[in-house]
Amino acid sequence: MKTSRRRFLGNMTAGAGWAALAGSTVLGASCSGMGRKYSYTNDIIDPQNMSPAYHWTDIMLQTVRDQAVNPPRATRAFAMGHMAGFMAVNGIDPQYNLQNNYGLSDGPRDADPAVAYGVACSYAMADAFQSSFIFDRMSYLDRFPDNGGKARGIEWGKACADAIIKARTHDGAEPSKSAYYLDRYSRRTDSLRWRPTGPFYGARNGPAFSSFNRGLLPGWGAQKPWVMNDISRFRAQPFMDPRSPEFADQYYRVKLLGGMDSITRSTDQTQIAFFWEDGPRGITPPGHWQLLAMQLLEDKNLNLAEQSKAFALMSLAQADGAISCWDSKFEYDILRPETAIRMRTSAFGNNDPRMVADPNWASLIPTPPFPAYTSGHSTFSAASAKVLALCLGQDDIRFSGSSPDLVNWPHQLTGVTRSWPSLSACADEGGISREYGGIHWAADNTEGLRIGRDLGQYVVDHAIVRRG
């Protein structure tokens, strides 16, 4: 029987304890009217290990899924929520100095850090998602006894959220700025120019996509960075000359490997393409790494301060990764393989005999509506893996994972589990998946991986530093 939110909240008992929150993952369970029918923590977090960081990360992932938030906007929401939560915990027990303290001094030492984390994270992500989360916050706070520590935690958490919201209110991510070129990026005029792509992909039982959409968020790369002090340092190297042997190599590779009827692509490579597709109606590529982070961090039994720091660093790297990647995408304005192979081959002036057009060619998976160079998957994966390796103290961690969302590819991914020998190997697989899917050039992947790893290291070195 479905329960209303009013009945759900009315049946809750204040002070029931953190274990009750963990055991039910209450806010992600089945509160009708919010669309939350599945908690991502169910299969990966032992109830006794549930923490405020896992709990609110789960709600952010559910919201990304339910609102169909695109990857760049998802990274901004993750960064706002996780950074506010970390600042709240660190301010109560100061262990780290921040590159940007957002105008805050240390917080009250006798405030409840779990309360402060939840309040800070929920208010900051509410601004990012433009949703109140009032019922989530109420039911979360009802699990804590009413006392001075709770009251001070609420007040301090709200102050941390307000500081983040104020800092990001005019950051360039507003739809009036991020959705348009506004002369910040010039369109190419040569044969490499990107053009909107069609629904030419061949996977069975896949989702329907609209055709020839305008470029997604052409101004995103011009927004205010979170940690980067010079975005040009993290801009990709210029794309190859279309007349070059390197371009012919990559053209031929993606044509053979990424086509819907490829006889070159292996069964495992096909599975990889679907596993990392993370398209609409799911938690997005950066969200996929948020989920993997919960799984890996739980194994280390970190306290809330260290958990919140790891999530904050990874989300900062993802958010700056989105800015850097979208800056390169619209700076270079490079076409997708679909356009090149179907209709642009003769315009490249490349005499390699392998440069043969195929007007009927279709990729395995859908082509996203924005330029190719560089790959967001590669950037997000490499940045996330680098941050996690540095936070966990090692890269060579063996782990496995299943697809977080089966809505797009149930036929291909039901019952599928993939395993990796290390974090970097997992990132490499996420990056190359886009070549296997036929939607990216090899250079999109290799340059995205390079920049992502460089950016992950930079964020860890500069954003949050232990006090001496």
DSSP track, 60-126: HHHHHHHHT--HHHHHHHHHHHHHHHHHHHHHHS--EEES--TT-----TTS-HHHHHHHHHHHHHH
Burial of residue 195 (number of CB atoms within 10 Å: 0-12, 13-18, 19+): middle
Res 8: pLDDT? 30
Res 198: pLDDT? 86
Provide, rounded to the nearest whole percent, the portion of the chain with pLDDT above 90: 85
pLDDT confidence bin for 212, thresholds 50/70/90: confident
pLDDT confidence bin for 254, thresholds 50/70/90: very high
Res 23: pLDDT? 35
Res 16: pLDDT? 34
**Which CATH number describes the domain made up of 181-466?**
1.10.606.20
pLDDT confidence bin for 280, thresholds 50/70/90: confident
Q: Which residues contact 222 (CB under 8 A, 6 or more apart)?
A: 172, 177, 182, 184, 185, 327
Spell out the domain ranges in the chain: 14-168, 181-466
DSSP label at residue 342: I
pLDDT at 25 over 90: no
Provide, rounded to the nearest whole percent, the portion of the chain with pLDDT above 70: 91
pLDDT at 22 over 50: no
Alpha-carbon distance 358 to 202, whole Å? 15
- Per the prediction, the chain carries an average pLDDT of 91
CB 406 within 8 A of CB 413: yes
Amino acid at 39: S
Res 244: pLDDT? 98
Which of 278, 283, 253, 386 lies closest to 44 in space, CA to CA?
A: 283
Res 37: pLDDT? 54
In this prediction, residues 123-137 reach a mean pLDDT of 97
pLDDT at 305 over 90: yes
pLDDT at 323 over 90: yes
CA 50 → CA 29, 134, 303, distances in Å? 14, 21, 11
Alpha-carbon distance 59 to 366, whole Å? 27
CB 34 within 8 A of CB 247: no
| Alpha helices (runs of H) in 376-422, residue ranges in sequence order | 376-392, 410-413
**What is the per-residue DSSP string for 328-341?**
HHHHH-BPPHHHII
The third-level CATH classification (topology) of the domain covering 14-168 is Vanadium-containing Chloroperoxidase; domain 1 (1.20.144)
Which of 379, 354, 363 lies closest to 440 in space, CA to CA?
A: 363
Alpha-carbon distance 176 to 182, whole Å? 10
Amino acid at 135: F
What is the tens place of the pLDDT at every residue in 59-103? 999 999 999 999 999 999 999 999 999 999 999 999 999 999 999
CB 279 within 8 A of CB 366: yes
